Amino acid sequence: MSIIVLGTVALDTVKTPFGKRKELLGGSAAHFSMTARLFDKVNLIAIVGNDFPQEHLAFLRSKRLNLSSLIVDAGKTFRWEGEYSGDLNSALTLNTELGVLSAFKPQISESQRKIENIFLANVDPDIQEHLLHKMLSPKLIGLDSMNYWINTKRKKLIKLLKHIDIYVANDQESRDLSGENNLIKAAKCLSSFGPKMVLIKKGEHGVLFYTRNGFIFSLPAYPVEKVVDPTGAGDTFAGGFMGYLAKAGKINSSTIKKALAYGTVAASFNVEDFGLHRTSRLTRLDLERRLTEFKNCFSFS
C-alpha cells in the first residue's frame, strides 16, 4: 500500500518573529511527504524548474521518496514569500512566482496509476482533476485546497469534491467554501458537496472531523510553546493523517481518531523549526513518543 501525493515543491522565503530564511525547500507535496514517508512509500508528483538546487533533489531522494514523476522543466521553480507576525496563526503572502507550475500537467507511470491512496495537496483544481482522472483504482482520496482556488475556481472545486473521500481544509477555507460560520454546519455543508468525510484544521485549536454518517471527532492541538514557523503545518498534518490511514488499510472511528492524532503530533514537530528542518529528521519513534504524551493531555478513564 503506497501513497501518491500531488502538490507543489517550492522554494519558500519566510519571515517569522524568529528570523528570516531564504529559498527554503518547501511546498505542499514536500511537507506532506516528510511525515507520510514514516508510514508508507510515498510517490511525489510535482514540478520544479531547472533552477531547482541539486542538493534539494538529493535530499528528497535521501528520504526514499519515489521521485520518478517529479518533473524538472525548463524555467523557474515555484516560489512563495510570506511573513508571520503576532500569534503566527496566518501568513501574509508577500510574493508568489508560479514559474513552471503554471503549465504543470502531472505525468505518472502505469504502476503509479494503480496506487490506491491518493492525496491531492493544494494546487490548481484543474491539475488535481487531471491527476485524479489517471488513477485506476482509488480507495482513499484526500484533497486540500486554498482560498485562492475557492475564490477563483469555486465551481470546479465543488465539482471535484464529488469524487473525494476526505476534504481537508482549514477553518477559514471551510467557512468560505460553505458560507457557514459554525464549523459543524460548515462541515455538514461541505460533506453535502460529495466528500464522505471533512477534516477541518484549526491550527493551535486542533482539529474537527466530520463524517457523513454523523460522527464528529475533535482533538485539541499538541501544546507547543515556541512556534518558529508554521509554514506547511497543514500539509504535514495531512501527511501523518493519510500516512497512518494508508498503512492501517481500513477506515473506522478508531483508525480515524488515531490518524488525526498522528497528524496532530506531526504538525507540532513541523512548527518547531523553519521549513522542513525538523520534519526531515523525524523518526517514527519521535512520533510514537509524542503521541503518548499527547494522549496524556486529554485521556481519562
Cα 129 to Cα 38, 100, 106, 140, 143: the distances in Å are 27, 18, 10, 15, 10
Q: Is residue 223 near its own copies by the rule CB under 8 A? A: yes
Place of cell 477506515: 251
Evaluate whether 16 touches 228 at the Cβ level (below 8 Å): yes
Smaller CB distance to its own copies: residue 185 or 247? 185
8 A C-beta contact, residue 274 and residue 14:
yes
Choose the stretch contacting its own copies; rule: CB under 8 A; options: 60-68, 70-78, 109-117, 222-230: 222-230
Nearer to its own copies, 29 or 271 (CB): 271
299 lines the binding site for its own copies (CB under 8 A) = yes
Closest contact distance (angstroms) between CB of 270 and its own copies is 17
One of 185, 196, 212, 247 touching its own copies (CB under 8 A)? 185
Least CB distance to its own copies at residue 225 (A): 4
- Distance of alpha carbon 291 from the chain centroid: 19
Report if residue 298 touches its own copies, rule: CB under 8 A.
Answer: yes
Closest to 69 measured CA to CA, from 23, 131, 16: 131
Give the closest residue to 41 by CA, choosing from 130, 127, 117, 134. 117
The answer to whether residue 214 forms part of the interface with its own copies (CB under 8 A) is: no
SS3 231: coil
Which of 38, 160, 183, 198 is in the footprint of its own copies by CB under 8 A?
Answer: 183
Residue choice 208, 265, 276, 282 for contact with its own copies (CB under 8 A): 208
Cα–Cα distance between 257 and 149 in angstroms, integer?
A: 29
Separation CA 190–CA 184 (nearest Å): 10
With CA atoms as reference, report the closest residue to 185 among 221, 217, 210: 210
The x, y and z cell numbers of residue 254, run together, are: 478508531
Write the interaction track for its own copies spanning residues 79-118; mark x where CB under 8 A is met and - where it is not. -------xx-------------------------------
Q: Taking CB under 8 A as the criterion, which residues in 242-261 touch its own copies?
A: 253-254, 257-258, 261
Residues that bind its own copies (CB under 8 A): 86-87, 181-185, 202, 204-206, 208, 216-221, 223-227, 253-254, 257-258, 261, 295-301
